[in-house]
C-alpha cells in the first residue's frame, strides 16, 4: 500500500518482455485507438446527412458548455453520486459480515452476490419494470394489502432510475469491499473495542482506513460507469430523465446524429474521469504517507 | 486486598465443547496471576470473558467489585495484550499507543505526555514514528504492552504474549514484564501453557484442565503440594507412581515401601516424588526411605545429571542431581527420599 513497498521490480528484461505484447496490443486496439478516433472526430463537423466531415472546428466543445448539457451533466453526476453513496451504505455491512463468516457460508453468499451476472443485464432491468409498473407486482401487493387505493407511479421517476442504478452496481461495490474486509484481522476489531471504541468509532478509526483500497476501487467501479449509464435511465426513467450517457448515445445512434458533438462530450467525460482519478490517487498517497 | 477480577461459577460452551466449566476464581488487586494449562484447557476463554469478548452462559464476571457480565469490552476498565499483538497497521507506534488515551478524552498535551511515559516504560524511545511492519517481534510486543498500559487500566490481560518470541528474547521479556508489573502496580492476568514462564512471573498460578480449575496457589505450593497427578506432571518433572497403602507407608513395588509425612487417604493413590529430591549414596541413608537402585541410563544436562534408576522391585525412577562425577550404567546406589518429599496426589 505504501509507495516504498510498491516499487515494481525490473524482472521483465528483454527476454520476457514479449509476454506483455498481448496486453500492449489489447490496450492499443481497444483503449488507445478508440480514444484517439474519438478525439479526432470531436474536432470535426458533420454534414446535413449526419456524416462526419473532417474540417477542424472547436464548435463541438463550445456546445458542451451549453446550460442544457451542463444541467444534464450535473444531474448525471448527482445520480451517480447518490447511487455510489447508497451502494456504499448497503455494501459495507454485507461485505463485512460475509468476510467474518466461515469459509463454506462465505463462498455461498459470494456466489449469491455474483449470480445476477449470469443473466443478461437488460432482462434483469425488464424484471424491475414488471415489478414497478402501474399494473406491476409492487402496486398489486400494496393494493391487496389495502395500503393504497390507486396505483402509484414508481416507474419513470428519478427514484426508479436510482433504484435501477443501485441494483446494477451494488455487486461492484460489495466485491472489492469484501476483498479488503477479508484482510482485516478480527483481533484488530477486538483491540479497538478493548481500547474504548464503540461500534461506530471502531468503524471510523479501524475498519474504514483498513478497507480504503476496496472502497476506492468500489467507488471507481460504481461512480464512473453510473455517470455514463444510458440503458437504465432509458428503460426505468422512460427517457424523461436523460443522463449524460443518453445524450451521447443519441448523438451516435439516436435521432440527434451528431457524431462530432457526441465525441466531444465523450472526450470531456473522459478527461473529467482522469482528473478525478488522479486527485483520488494523490489523496490516497498523501494519507498513507 | 480487594478483588480486581472475579469469575463466579462461570460457564462457556462452544458447540458441544465446554471451554469453561463452573470456574470460580478471584484475582487480588496488584497481583500477578497466571492461568496455566495445555492448549484447549479454557485459559484463553477465561481471559476473553474478563475482557468482554465472550459472554458466559452461566455465572458472572466482576471487575473491581462491579458485575460487568453484560458490559461490552469498551466499557470495561481492562486492556488486553493480544497473542498476535493486534497492532493497528495503519497507525504509527505513537498513534497506536495514543489510541486508548484519545478515547478517554484526555487533552492533547496529556496524551503526548502519557505516550512518552509509556514509550519510556517499555524502552522504545526513537521508534515513535515507525510503522508496525518496520518493527521486530520484540519491539511489536513492547508496543502492544505500551498501548495496553497507557490508559492505566485496573487490570492488564495478557494472552500468551511471549509465545511468538524466540527462547532468549522470551527470557528477557519475562524479566521485563515482572519489572513492569512491580513498577506500575497494575493487576496482571497472564495466560500461558509454559509452566516455566508461569513459575518465573507469577505471584499465584491457577492450573486449568479441560475447562475446570484444578488448583490455585503460589509456584512453590503447586510444585511441592500438587493436588492432582495432572498438576504434578504439568509443573516440572516428577516420578508419578501408583501406590497402595501398606501399614504406615505406601508400597511402590515388591521391594520398596515409602513413608510419607502427609496423612494420605487409605485408598489406592498416586505418589509424586520430584527427581531432584531423590538422593543417591554409596551407603544406606540414615532416614526411613532408603532402598537399593541400579543405574540404567544417564543423560548429561549441563548443570544437572539426569539418571534413570531401577529399584529391586523393577520400578523406574528419574533422578536429577548436580553434575560432578558422572554415574555409569549398571552402577549400584542407595536411594533416599525424605518422607516430606513423598507427596500423595489425587487422580
Kindly report, residue by residue over B44-59, the tens digit of the pLDDT: 999 999 999 999 999 9
Separation in Å, CA of B96 to nearest CA in chain A:
10
The two beta strands, B187-192 and B204-209, are unpaired
How far are the Cα atoms of B206, B271, B294, B317 from residue B278, in angstroms, in the given order? Answer: 27, 13, 14, 9
- Domain end, chosen from B182, B207, B229, is at B229
Q: Is residue A18 part of a domain?
A: no
Model pLDDT, residue A1: 39
DSSP string, A116-132: GGGS-HHHHHHHHHHHH
Q: pLDDT category, A5, cuts 50, 70, 90?
A: very low
Q: How many domains does chain B have?
A: 2
Which residues in A lie closer than 8 A to residue B147 (C-beta atoms)? 195
Q: Are residues B150 and B289 in the same domain?
A: no
Model pLDDT, residue A12: 46
Q: Are residues A249 and A277 in the same domain?
A: no
Q: pLDDT category, B263, cuts 50, 70, 90?
A: low
Model pLDDT, residue A134: 86
Which of A185, A195, A197 faces B79 most closely, judged by CB atoms?
A195
Using the beta-carbon criterion (under 8 Å), do B86 and A185 form an inter-chain contact?
yes
Q: Are residues A112 and A244 in the same domain?
A: yes
Judged against a pLDDT cut of 60, whether residue A4 lies above it is answered with: no
Please name which of A182, A244, A188, A180 lies closest in space to residue A214, comparing C-alpha atoms.
A180
Please name which of B267, B246, B264 lies closest in space to residue B255, comparing C-alpha atoms.
B246
How far are the Cα atoms of A82, A169, A246, B49, B169 from residue A219, in angstroms, in the given order? Answer: 11, 10, 22, 39, 46
Which residues in A lie closer than 8 A to residue B93 (C-beta atoms)? none
Using the beta-carbon criterion (under 8 Å), do A193 and B82 form an inter-chain contact?
no
Q: Give the separation between CA B11 and CA B19, rounded to whole angstroms.
A: 8
Separation in Å, CA of A275 to nearest CA in chain B:
27
Using the beta-carbon criterion (under 8 Å), do A196 and B90 form an inter-chain contact?
no
Model pLDDT, residue B204: 97
Give which of A186, A194, A210 to mutate to test B binding, by max B Cβ within 10 Å. A194
The two beta strands, B78-81 and B17-28, are unpaired
Q: Are residues A83 and A168 in the same domain?
A: yes
Q: How many domains does chain A have?
A: 2
Q: Are residues A202 and A146 in the same domain?
A: yes
A214-232: average pLDDT: 89
pLDDT digits (tens, 9 = 90+) for A25-50: 999 999 999 999 999 999 998 888 77
CATH number of the domain enclosing B286:
2.40.50.100
Model pLDDT, residue B265: 60
Cα end-to-end span (Å), chain B: 34
A159's enclosing H/E stretch is helix A158-181
Report the percentage of chain A scoring pLDDT > 90.
47
The backbone torsions φ and ψ at residue B21, rounded to the nearest 5 degrees and listed phi first, read -125, 105
Using the beta-carbon criterion (under 8 Å), do A197 and B103 form an inter-chain contact?
yes
Q: Is residue A17 part of a domain?
A: no
Residue A7: helix, strand or coil by DSSP?
A: coil
Q: Are residues A235 and A269 in the same domain?
A: no
Q: pLDDT category, B71, cuts 50, 70, 90?
A: very high
DSSP string, B7-33: EEEEEEEETTEEEEEEEEEEEETT-EE
- Domain end, chosen from B184, B206, B229, is at B229
Which residues in A lie closer than 8 A to residue B82 (C-beta atoms)? 187, 190-191
Q: Are residues B276 and B145 in the same domain?
A: no
Q: Are residues B218 and B286 in the same domain?
A: no
Using the beta-carbon criterion (under 8 Å), do B74 and A187 form an inter-chain contact?
no
Q: Are residues B321 and B197 in the same domain?
A: no
Q: pLDDT category, B42, cuts 50, 70, 90?
A: very high
Q: Are residues B189 and B106 in the same domain?
A: yes
Q: Give the separation between CA B241 and CA B295, rounded to whole angstroms.
A: 18
Judged against a pLDDT cut of 90, whether residue B295 lies above it is answered with: yes
Which of A191, A197, A198 faces B82 most closely, judged by CB atoms?
A191
Q: Of the ranges A167-176, A239-248, B264-273, which one carries the lowest mean pLDDT score?
A: B264-273
Mean pLDDT of chain A: 87
- Please give the model's pTM, rounded to 2 decimal places: 0.84
Q: What is the extent of the structural domain holding B278?
A: 237-345
CATH number of the domain enclosing A182:
1.10.3720.10
Q: Is residue A135 part of a domain?
A: yes
A51-74: average pLDDT: 88
Judged against a pLDDT cut of 80, whether residue A8 lies above it is answered with: no
Q: Across-strand partners of A279? A: none
Using the beta-carbon criterion (under 8 Å), do B151 and A196 form an inter-chain contact?
yes
By C-alpha distance, the chain B residue nearest A189 is B86
Give which of A5, A6, A180, A195 to mutate to test B binding, by max B Cβ within 10 Å. A195
Q: Is residue A110 part of a domain?
A: yes
Q: Give the separation between CA A204 and CA A209, rounded to whole angstroms.
A: 7
Using the beta-carbon criterion (under 8 Å), do B84 and A190 form an inter-chain contact?
no
Q: Are residues B248 and B153 in the same domain?
A: no
DSSP string, A81-124: HHHHHHHHHHHHHHHHHHHHS-HHHHHHHHHHHHGGGGS-HHHH
Q: Give the separation between CA A20 and CA A139, rounded to whole angstroms.
A: 55
Give which of A189, A190, A191 to mutate to test B binding, by max B Cβ within 10 Å. A191
The backbone torsions φ and ψ at residue B321, rounded to the nearest 5 degrees and listed phi first, read -145, 160
Which residues in B lie closer than 8 A to residue A2 (C-beta atoms)? 131
Which of A190, A196, A197 faces B86 most closely, judged by CB atoms?
A190
Q: Is residue A146 part of a domain?
A: yes
B267-294: average pLDDT: 89
Which residues in A lie closer than 8 A to residue B148 (C-beta atoms)? 194-195
Q: Are residues B167 and B265 in the same domain?
A: no
Q: What is the extent of the structural domain holding A244?
A: 75-256
Decide if A205 touches B, using CB distance below 8 A: yes
Q: Are residues A226 and A276 in the same domain?
A: no
Q: Are residues A50 and A87 in the same domain?
A: no
Q: Is residue A23 part of a domain?
A: no
Using the beta-carbon criterion (under 8 Å), do B99 and A187 form an inter-chain contact?
no
Q: Are residues B145 and B294 in the same domain?
A: no
Which residues in A lie closer than 8 A to residue B52 (C-beta atoms)? 193-194
Give which of B44, B71, B74, B152 to mutate to test A binding, by max A Cβ within 10 Å. B74
Judged against a pLDDT cut of 90, whether residue B26 lies above it is answered with: yes
Q: Are residues A187 and A208 in the same domain?
A: yes
By C-alpha distance, the chain B residue nearest A287 is B90
* Residues 6+ positions from B272 with CB-CB distance below 8 Å: B226, B229, B232, B238, B239, B240, B241, B343, B344, B345
Using the beta-carbon criterion (under 8 Å), do A193 and B74 form an inter-chain contact?
yes
B280-285: average pLDDT: 90
Residue B287: helix, strand or coil by DSSP?
A: coil
Q: Are residues B264 and B195 in the same domain?
A: no
Q: Give the separation between CA A106 and CA A109, rounded to whole angstroms.
A: 5
Strands (E), chain A: 45-46, 52-53
Give which of B47, B63, B89 to mutate to test A binding, by max A Cβ within 10 Å. B89
Cα end-to-end span (Å), chain A: 10
Q: Are residues A50 and A137 in the same domain?
A: no
Q: Are residues A120 and A198 in the same domain?
A: yes
B225-232: average pLDDT: 91
Model pLDDT, residue A151: 85
Helix, strand, coil distribution of chain B in percent, nearest 5:
30, 35, 35
pLDDT digits (tens, 9 = 90+) for B299-319: 988 888 999 999 999 999 999
Q: Are residues B245 and B222 in the same domain?
A: no
Decide if A191 touches B, using CB distance below 8 A: yes
Cα atoms in the Cβ-side hemisphere of radius 13 Å centred on B181? 23
Q: Give the separation between CA B38 and CA B53, rounded to whole angstroms.
A: 21
Model pLDDT, residue A273: 82
Q: Are residues B45 and B188 in the same domain?
A: yes
Q: Are residues B180 and B35 in the same domain?
A: yes
pLDDT digits (tens, 9 = 90+) for B180-205: 999 999 999 999 999 999 999 999 99
Using the beta-carbon criterion (under 8 Å), do B103 and A195 form an inter-chain contact?
yes
Q: Across-strand partners of B36? A: B192, B207
CATH number of the domain enclosing B68:
3.40.50.300
Using the beta-carbon criterion (under 8 Å), do A190 and B99 form an inter-chain contact?
no
pLDDT digits (tens, 9 = 90+) for B174-186: 999 999 999 999 9
Using the beta-carbon criterion (under 8 Å), do B90 and A210 form an inter-chain contact?
yes
Q: Are residues A98 and A225 in the same domain?
A: yes
Q: Are residues A207 and A224 in the same domain?
A: yes
Q: Is residue A10 part of a domain?
A: no
Amino acid at each position: 500500500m505504501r509507495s516504498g513497498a510498491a516499487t515494481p521490480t525490473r524482472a521483465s528484461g528483454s527476454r520476457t518482455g514479449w509476454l506483455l505484447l498481448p496486453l500492449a496490443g489489447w490496450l492499443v486496439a481497444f483503449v488507445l485507438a478508440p480514444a484517439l478516433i474519438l478525439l479526432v472526430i470531436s474536432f470535426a463537423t458533420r454534414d446535413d446527412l449526419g456524416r462526419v466531415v473532417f474540417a477542424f472546428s472547436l464548435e463541438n466543445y463550445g456546445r458542451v458548455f451549453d446550460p442544457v448539457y451542463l444541467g444534464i451533466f450535473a444531474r448525471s453526476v448527482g445520480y451517480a453520486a447518490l447511487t455510489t453513496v447508497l451502494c456504499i451504505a448497503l455494501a459495507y455491512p454485507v461485505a463485512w459480515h460475509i468476510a467474518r463468516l466461515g469459509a463454506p457460508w462465505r463462498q455461498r453468499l459470494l456466489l449469491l452476490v455474483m449470480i445476477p451476472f449470469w443473466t443478461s443485464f437488460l432482462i434483469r432491468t425488464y424484471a424491475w419494470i414488471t415489478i414497478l409498473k402501474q399494473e406491476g407486482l409492487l402496486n398489486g401487493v400494496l393494493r391487496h394489502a389495502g395500503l393504497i387505493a390507486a396505483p402509484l407511479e414508481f416507474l419513470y421517476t428519478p427514484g426508479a432510475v436510482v433504484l435501477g442504478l443501485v441494483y446494477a452496481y451494488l455487486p461492484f461495490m460489495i466485491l472489492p469491499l469484501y476483498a479488503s474486509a477479508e484482510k482485516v484481522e478480527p483481533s484488530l476489531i477486538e483491540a479497538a473495542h478493548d481500547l474504548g471504541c464503540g461500534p461506530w468509532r471502531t468503524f471510523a478509526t479501524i475498519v474504514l482506513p483498513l478497507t480504503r483500497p476496496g472502497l476506492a476501487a468500489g467507488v471507481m467501479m460504481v461512480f464512473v460507469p453510473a455517470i455514463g449509464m444510458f440503458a437504465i435511465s432509458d428503460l426505468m426513467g422512460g427517457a424523461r430523465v436523460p443522463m449524460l450517457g443518453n445524450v451521447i448515445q443519441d448523438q451516435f445512434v439516436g435521432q440527434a446524429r451528431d457524431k462530432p458533438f457526441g465525441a466531444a462530450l465523450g472526450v470531456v467525460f473522459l478527461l473529467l474521469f482522469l482528473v478525478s482519478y488522479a486527485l483520488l490517487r494523490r489523496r490516497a498517497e498523501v494519507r498513507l504517507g | 486486598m480487594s478483588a480486581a477480577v472475579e469469575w463466579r461459577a462461570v460457564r462457556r460452551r462452544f458447540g458441544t465443547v465446554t471451554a469453561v466449566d463452573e470456574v470460580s476464581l478471584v484475582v487480588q488487586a496488584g497481583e500477578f496471576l497466571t492461568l496455566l494449562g495445555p492448549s484447549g484447557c479454557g485459559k484463553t476463554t477465561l481471559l476473553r470473558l474478563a475482557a468482554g469478548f465472550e459472554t458466559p452462559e452461566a455465572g458472572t464476571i466482576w471487575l473491581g467489585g462491579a458485575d460487568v457480565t453484560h458490559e461490552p469490552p469498551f466499557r470495561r476498565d481492562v486492556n488486553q495484550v493480544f497473542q498476535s499483538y493486534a497492532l493497528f497497521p495503519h497507525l504509527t507506534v505513537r498513534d497506536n499507543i495514543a489510541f486508548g488515551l484519545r478515547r478517554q478524552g484526555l487533552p492533547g498535551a496529556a496524551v503526548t505526555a502519557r505516550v512518552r511515559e509509556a514509550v519510556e516504560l517499555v524502552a522504545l524511545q526513537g521508534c515513535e514514528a515507525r510503522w508496525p511492519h518496520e518493527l521486530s517481534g520484540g519491539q511489536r510486543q513492547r508496543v502492544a504492552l505500551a498501548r495496553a498500559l497507557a490508559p492505566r487500566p485496573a487490570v492488564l490481560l495478557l494472552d500468551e504474549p511471549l509465545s511468538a518470541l524466540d527462547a532468549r528474547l522470551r527470557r528477557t521479556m519475562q524479566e521485563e514484564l515482572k519489572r513492569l508489573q512491580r513498577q506500575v502496580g497494575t493487576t496482571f492476568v497472564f495466560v500461558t501453557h509454559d509452566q516455566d514462564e508461569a513459575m518465573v512471573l507469577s505471584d499465584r498460578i491457577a492450573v486449568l484442565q479441560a475447562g475446570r480449575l484444578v488448583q490455585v496457589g503460589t509456584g512453590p505450593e503447586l510444585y511441592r503440594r500438587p493436588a492432582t497427578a495432572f498438576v504434578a506432571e504439568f509443573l516440572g518433572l516428577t516420578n508419578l507412581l501408583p501406590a497402595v497403602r501398606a501399614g504406615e507407608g505406601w508400597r511402590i513395588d515388591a521391594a520398596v515401601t515409602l513413608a510419607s509425612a502427609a496423612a494420605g487417604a487409605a485408598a489406592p493413590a498416586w505418589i509424586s516424588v520430584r527427581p531432584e529430591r531423590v538422593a543417591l549414596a554409596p551407603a544406606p541413608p540414615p532416614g526411613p526411605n532408603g532402598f537399593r537402585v541400579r543405574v540404567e541410563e544417564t543423560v548429561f544436562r549441563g548443570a544437572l545429571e539426569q539418571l534413570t534408576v531401577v529399584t529391586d522391585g523393577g520400578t523406574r525412577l528419574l533422578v536429577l542431581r548436580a553434575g560432578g562425577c558422572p554415574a555409569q550404567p549398571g552402577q549400584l546406589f542407595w536411594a533416599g527420599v525424605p518422607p516430606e518429599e513423598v507427596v500423595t496426589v489425587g487422580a
